Chain A
């Protein structure tokens, strides 16, 4: 191939033609190098994120006089620093779980609504509106949550307290509803779009034959969904929820505006208090000194690792599903 081209190009003798061809080959090399270089740059950035965070975190943890994982305070100002992430881990996980419990069923419902229930004329605008919900910046959610949602939730919480207060988890002492539960509700609204759009994609891929077969046997619409759509979409729903969970774990500003933080683990979810990793970083950053910043970076590293695990698991489920449906189709 190569030997074939070179004699002809040199024999052709017309300089412009030769130049075009030779720059063509060089151009290919340069272009490949550039594009491969960008790919590698992305990998380097990921590695650098892990490396630099670990480095600063190691410095902070070596100065920490308390157990980093189990200590209940965050004193980075005092001369032997004593700080731990126990409260943050609790708050992050609890608020995300509340968000998931609310958001996943509703999101699956909306996805079903768009794919199977809504009249055609309504389905497209609804899908569009849900996408717009994703486009609203998180700080605007935070503002809305703090100034509109919080005052409107006190009534509901009092009602919870009246009937379910005996559980301890849902007791409420009054005051502004700037609690982990409110954060969970707000996070649920914020992760709805991603869970909805991923589940919707999966529901759309359900083989039409399965549904038509069920319909032909006289199944009602709900029976079609229960027997053919949900089993097909189960892994898709799981991975969609985990992508949503990843979002909820790392959400910063909406939580920082709504939550009224403290460093206690309250038994009641409705009373204000607690904190999350991201919220703690944003709220304390301005007052933190050099060591304080490193301590915050250490807690950020924990958040990074948790979200990596959750997102990695979600992606793996999606990838495996793709292989299945690829062989099945």
Chain B
């Protein structure tokens, strides 16, 4: 008996001494496989860094598996394989983002200046440099502003209904259809406003029509985020207020909403950032214009996403440059909204419990 225990202990001790690869192995493998990938790539005359990268990734994965299998045994090798695969996945996701940001900044900054931000495309020859995106910026601000004015009240009230009042069938139906609404393709929202507002009611193309489609896309996002935030408000606060004899609606307005206001603001700003980049409904409803149109209720307007599409379609170097510059403006706008929203979320996060 005691012999057996000793034996087992000895066995385990020997397995603890099993060979392990040193900690720096993965790093060395990364450098090595990158070199091998670049080497094979240049040797075979492959121009694109895509293939070299793919080869390097493959070499890295296979090498870490084989090294693991030879030195550490099968189970550890599979673990190393999984680890290297997960790291490769992560790199695969980061590369396009970096490339996209780099391209946009690098090619956008050649044209982006005060002139670009302050002038429209009215009377500009499209194959020549010059012109700007002022009309598109105005259009985006007005359309997104109108959409926010429509969507935020409805979204907020719906979320309040779902959290504070909603029981029963109606609440269930609303919850389900809010989820369904988040999945509506933006072009379908555009087609709906097209068939209803422009074809049947016979209004013309205008910024407001675009704003209505954007509002449809924005509502479910606002409802979802507001709902989450209202659920975070502790019930004790509501109960304390109700116990003091405050009516429910004042409790909601004066206690629940102020507590959650930081999160709600974040949600609204993220929703604004989302719809500011929508171009599909704009193509159908706003129709695009080269001149400045300050009135969103009458006549065609432009918007930044539409401007990018239009300049891309013109297909010459000057227009490509303008498209990149507008993309840079749009990305900056969206990213700043995102950063500010997240800042507010962190700053005003409701303290859960105590």
Identity of the chain A residue whose Cβ is nearest the Cβ of B308 in the assembled complex? A139
**Partner-binding segment picked from B1-9, B120-128, B193-201, B289-297:** B193-201
CA distance A310 to B184 in the complex (A): 11
CA distance A155 to B42 in the complex (A): 13
CA distance A24 to B242 in the complex (A): 12
CA distance A131 to B97 in the complex (A): 11
**Do B191 and A53 touch (CB < 8 A)?**
yes
CA distance A246 to B184 in the complex (A): 8
Q: Is A315 an interface residue (CB 8 A)?
A: yes
Q: Is B22 an interface residue (CB 8 A)?
A: no
Given the complex, which residues of A lie within 8 Å of B223, measured CB to CB? 42
CA distance A117 to B83 in the complex (A): 7
Given the complex, which residues of B lie within 8 Å of A63, measured CB to CB? none
CA distance A93 to B252 in the complex (A): 46
Identity of the chain A residue whose Cβ is nearest the Cβ of B189 in the assembled complex? A49
**Partner-binding segment picked from B28-36, B44-52, B110-118:** B44-52
Given the complex, which residues of A lie within 8 Å of B335, measured CB to CB? 132, 135
Task: Say whether, besides A109-B89, A113-B87, A282-B280, A132 and B51 are in contact (CB < 8 Å).
Answer: no
**Do A32 and B94 touch (CB < 8 A)?**
no
Q: Is A285 an interface residue (CB 8 A)?
A: yes
Q: Is A225 an interface residue (CB 8 A)?
A: yes
Q: Is A36 an interface residue (CB 8 A)?
A: yes
Q: Which of A45, A132, A308 contacts B97 (CB 8 A)?
A: A132
**Do A52 and B195 touch (CB < 8 A)?**
yes
Closest CB-CB distance, B304 to chain A, in whole Å? 8
Given the complex, which residues of A lie within 8 Å of B153, measured CB to CB? 38
Q: Is B233 an interface residue (CB 8 A)?
A: no
Q: Is B181 an interface residue (CB 8 A)?
A: yes
Q: Is A112 an interface residue (CB 8 A)?
A: yes
Interface of chain A residues 132 through 167 with chain B (CB within 8 A): 132-133, 135-144, 146-148, 152-156, 159
- What 1/0 flags go to A309-329 for Cβ under 8 Å of B? 011100100000000000000
CA distance A295 to B87 in the complex (A): 47
Question: What's the dominant secondary structure at chain A's contact region?
Answer: helix
Given the complex, which residues of B lie within 8 Å of A34, measured CB to CB? 157
Closest CB-CB distance, B100 to chain A, in whole Å? 5
How many A residues face the partner with a CB closer than 8 A? Answer: 96
Given the complex, which residues of A lie within 8 Å of B196, measured CB to CB? 48, 52
Q: Is A66 an interface residue (CB 8 A)?
A: no
**Partner-binding segment picked from B141-149, B170-178, B259-267:** B170-178
CA distance A131 to B189 in the complex (A): 24
**Do B187 and A252 touch (CB < 8 A)?**
yes
**Do B277 and A140 touch (CB < 8 A)?**
yes
Identity of the chain A residue whose Cβ is nearest the Cβ of B311 in the assembled complex? A143
**Do A250 and B249 touch (CB < 8 A)?**
no
Q: Is A208 an interface residue (CB 8 A)?
A: no
Q: Is B166 an interface residue (CB 8 A)?
A: yes
CA distance A221 to B75 in the complex (A): 10
CA distance A155 to B224 in the complex (A): 44
Given the complex, which residues of A lie within 8 Å of B54, measured CB to CB? 156
Task: Say whether, besides A25-B247, A42-B174, A35 and B280 are in contact (CB < 8 Å).
Answer: no
- What 1/0 flags go to B85-107 for Cβ under 8 Å of A? 11111101110110110011000
**Do B97 and A311 touch (CB < 8 A)?**
no
CA distance A259 to B299 in the complex (A): 30
**Do B192 and A48 touch (CB < 8 A)?**
yes
**Do B89 and A278 touch (CB < 8 A)?**
no
**Do B165 and A32 touch (CB < 8 A)?**
yes
Q: Is B327 an interface residue (CB 8 A)?
A: yes
Identity of the chain A residue whose Cβ is nearest the Cβ of B95 in the assembled complex? A189
**Do B90 and A109 touch (CB < 8 A)?**
yes
CA distance A107 to B92 in the complex (A): 10
Closest CB-CB distance, B35 to chain A, in whole Å? 20
**Do B183 and A137 touch (CB < 8 A)?**
no
Q: Is A129 an interface residue (CB 8 A)?
A: yes
**Partner-binding segment picked from A71-79, A81-89, A262-270, A296-304:** A296-304
The winner among B88, B280, B283 for most chain A CB atoms within 10 A is B280
Closest CB-CB distance, A117 to chain B, in whole Å? 5
**What would be 28 A-B contacts, judged by CB atoms less than 8 Å apart?**
A28-B249, A31-B248, A35-B160, A38-B153, A38-B156, A39-B170, A42-B154, A45-B216, A109-B86, A110-B86, A117-B87, A136-B334, A137-B279, A138-B279, A140-B277, A140-B331, A141-B100, A146-B312, A148-B99, A153-B48, A155-B47, A250-B183, A250-B185, A251-B185, A253-B280, A307-B183, A311-B183, A315-B176
Q: What residues of chain A have their CB less than 8 Å away from a CB belonging to chain B?
A: 24-25, 27-28, 30-32, 34-43, 45-46, 48-49, 52-53, 55-56, 105-110, 112-113, 117-118, 126, 129-133, 135-144, 146-148, 152-156, 159, 189, 192, 196, 220-223, 225, 243, 246-247, 249-253, 256-257, 278, 281-282, 285, 290, 293-294, 296-297, 300, 303-304, 307-308, 310-312, 315
- What 15 new A-B contacts, CB under 8 Å, besides A49-B192, A137-B330? A35-B157, A35-B164, A49-B184, A52-B195, A108-B89, A135-B274, A138-B279, A143-B323, A156-B48, A189-B96, A243-B183, A281-B191, A293-B199, A307-B188, A315-B179
